[in-house]
Amino acid sequence: MRNIAVLGLLGTLALAGPAEDLDQYRASVVQVFTTSQSEDYMRPWQRPRASGSGGSAFFIGNKRLMTNAHVVSDAKTLLVKRADRSKRYPATVVFKGDDCDLAIITVKDASFFEGMEPLRIGNRPDIRSTVAAVGYPMGGNKLSVTQGVVSRIELRGYSHTGADEHLTIQVDAAINPGNSGGPVVQDGKVVGVAFQGQFFAQNIGYMIPPSVIRHFLEDIGDGKYHGYPELGLYTAKLENDSLRRHLGVPDNESGVLVLKPTPYASCVGHLRRNDVVTKIDGNRIQNDGTIKVGKEFLDFSFIVEGKQIGDSVTLTVRRDGKLIEVPIKLKKWAARMSQAYQYDRRPEYLVTGGYVFAPVTTNYLYRSRGTEELSFYFRQWYRTIAVEGKSREQLVLLSRVLRWPTTRYQDYSNGIVSKVDGTVPKDFADFVRMLDNAKKDLVKIEFEGVNTPPLILDRRVIAKSHKDICKRYGITKDRHVEEPKK
């Protein structure tokens, strides 16, 4: 799932360049010690053993330290330590943006910040310019400064959630565990936050660029992190001459072909299939879907990268032979079925009479080592629900059957619930409500797939066996259900 390793709790890259003075950062770049505990998706009523890890963070003023979201996700305890002190201070997370892998943490004890100089956010460094990564990578406990060259700037996936893509800067020095959250500096200013590397490559490390850092800082200005808006368009390139002729796109014009506005996102109701988007905020879109940004060609969604939720973007669209301007108010993608890995959330589940139900999520698939079959259904339903906007908002799964005399001969493996007494549950909370409110003794639960036998829940049998089953299997709480946000 993740071929790019987040460096979480790991650390720094780069060597001190001639322009960078280690002492300058000794007080401002701190080491982060995290004790984290994730979730057990197969036995969601309990948690797996906690583990420790480390990362880096840097002072940005106002009692705030910036680090990576993955350094502090699922944290149970968080400690920070300055390079020039021996004491470790307890810290707390103030803001966290999993989609951009950035977080702000703070320390209550004001003495921690004494003598610290905030690091300023600089501008995007040029290709081939030298940068230095400061942090606490593996291999030692002292502050480390390493040097590298900016080798590539492009939009690419952020592996913390596995589903988000933002501008990323590649540097040619290896970024190692422990570097995560540490600043990458140039001329005394922060030009990136080290965050991920490549497992099977040499000298490829990635940092979060200033534009993403500023977007995050601007977003939290109102005291809450909202995330990135989504244009929400399925498009195709228009590199093919025949396709362009067929669509009536003049030779001197370029753009991308709209296949479908994604449900739950910004363009629904504004664009339609076979529109050709030629410009975004006045920037000409090339036939391969890029726009020119400085010396680089970047995907046209780069323009949306700089926007906040609620901002507008103007698309120039060729429709029915005419060019029109379409203003779009940007929204966050509101589908509940997401392919993003989620953190700091209890898994939802329900245990009833030995049957364990849960919503299908990326976390579930990843943590439970979900079967290929289940992954297939997830992808298929993700397409149906999130992309095509059909009926359901979540998939409900019979994740396992606890063996008991009343659950004998159960041969389910990850059955996806299709109906409860003939009605499709729209999400997990809805499913649980259906069971809780059932009036009949027998509740029929049907599953996806060809000729999969239904499960008949006999509420009389469950009433008699449920407590014993929970007791014998060590189930301290038989459910965790979250009602969808209105």
Partner 1 sequence: MNRPVAILPLLLLLLFALGAVRTASAEDMAPRLRNALVKIRVTGQSWDSTEPWKKRRPGTRTGRGVVVQPGVVLTLANIVRDPIMIEVSREGGARLYPARLKHVDARVGLALIEITDEKLRAQLKPIEIGDPVKLDDEFDIWQLNSDNLLQRATARVVAARASSTRLTLKVNTTNPNSGDGQVALRDGRIAGLLTGSVRRQEGTILSVETIRRYLKDFDDGTYHGCPGPGLWIQPLLRQDLRTFYGLTDDQHGLAITRVMPNRTGSGVLQKNDVLLAIDGFDLDDEGKFIHPAHGRLDTRWLFQGRRYAGDKIKASVLRAGKVVAVEFELKPFPASEMRVPARPANGRPQYLVEGGLVLLELTRAVGVGRSTGGVILRRYVERATWDEPNARRRVVFVDHVLKDISNKGMNSFSKRPLLKVNGQPINEIADVVAALKKPQGDFHVFGFEGVQSDFVLPVKEREAINERIAERYMVTRTRYLHGDPE
In the complex, what is the shortest distance from the CB of residue 421 to partner 1, in angstroms, rounded to a whole number? Answer: 12
Catalytic residue among 28, 36, 70, 301: 70
* CB closer to partner 1 out of 108 and 246: 246
Of 464, 462, 469, nearest in space to 443 by CA: 462
Count the helices and strands in the chain (H runs, E runs).
Answer: 9, 28
Active site (annotated) includes residue 180? yes
Interacting residues with partner 1 (CB under 8 A):
234, 236-243, 245-246, 257, 259-260, 287-288, 376, 379-380, 383, 387-388, 406, 408-410, 442, 444, 449-451, 453-458, 461
| Residue 374 φ then ψ, to 5° | -70, -40
In the complex, what is the shortest distance from the CB of residue 258 to partner 1, in angstroms, rounded to a whole number? Answer: 9
* CB closer to partner 1 out of 62 and 451: 451
Distance from the first to the final alpha carbon of the chain: 32
Active site (annotated) includes residue 288? no
Q: Are 276 and 249 in contact (CB under 8 A)?
A: yes
* CB closer to partner 1 out of 87 and 403: 403
List % helix, strand, coil for the chain (3-state, nearest 5). Answer: 15, 35, 45
E strand map for 75-143:
75-82, 88-97, 102-107, 130-135
* CB closer to partner 1 out of 397 and 455: 455
In the complex, what is the shortest distance from the CB of residue 61 to partner 1, in angstroms, rounded to a whole number? Answer: 46
The CA distance from 181 to 237, in Å, is 36
Task: For 277-336, give the DSSP string.
Answer: EEEETTEEPPTTSEEEETTEEEETTHHHHTPPTT-EEEEEEEETTEEEEEEEE-B----S
In the complex, what is the shortest distance from the CB of residue 218 to partner 1, in angstroms, rounded to a whole number? Answer: 33
The CA distance from 227 to 223, in Å, is 13
* CB closer to partner 1 out of 259 and 463: 259
The CA distance from 122 to 186, in Å, is 8
Catalytic residue among 180, 266, 368, 399: 180
Q: Are 234 and 260 in contact (CB under 8 A)?
A: yes
The CA distance from 5 to 197, in Å, is 6
In the complex, what is the shortest distance from the CB of residue 416 to partner 1, in angstroms, rounded to a whole number? Answer: 13
CA distances in angstroms from 257 to 70, 92, 274, listed in the order given:
36, 46, 6
The CA distance from 479 to 182, in Å, is 39
In the complex, what is the shortest distance from the CB of residue 159 to partner 1, in angstroms, rounded to a whole number? Answer: 20
Task: For 379-404, give the DSSP string.
Answer: HHHHIIIIIT--S-SS-EEEEEE---
* CB closer to partner 1 out of 51 and 413: 413
Catalytic residue among 98, 99, 101, 219: 101
In the complex, what is the shortest distance from the CB of residue 330 to partner 1, in angstroms, rounded to a whole number? Answer: 21
* CB closer to partner 1 out of 211 and 406: 406
Active site (annotated) includes residue 70? yes
Q: Are 359 and 414 in contact (CB under 8 A)?
A: no
Considering all CA atoms of the chain, what is the largest pairwise distance in Å, rounded to the nearest integer?
77
* CB closer to partner 1 out of 193 and 285: 285
Q: What is the DSSP letter of 466?
A: H
In the complex, what is the shortest distance from the CB of residue 161 to partner 1, in angstroms, rounded to a whole number? Answer: 20
Residues marked active site are found at 70, 101, 180
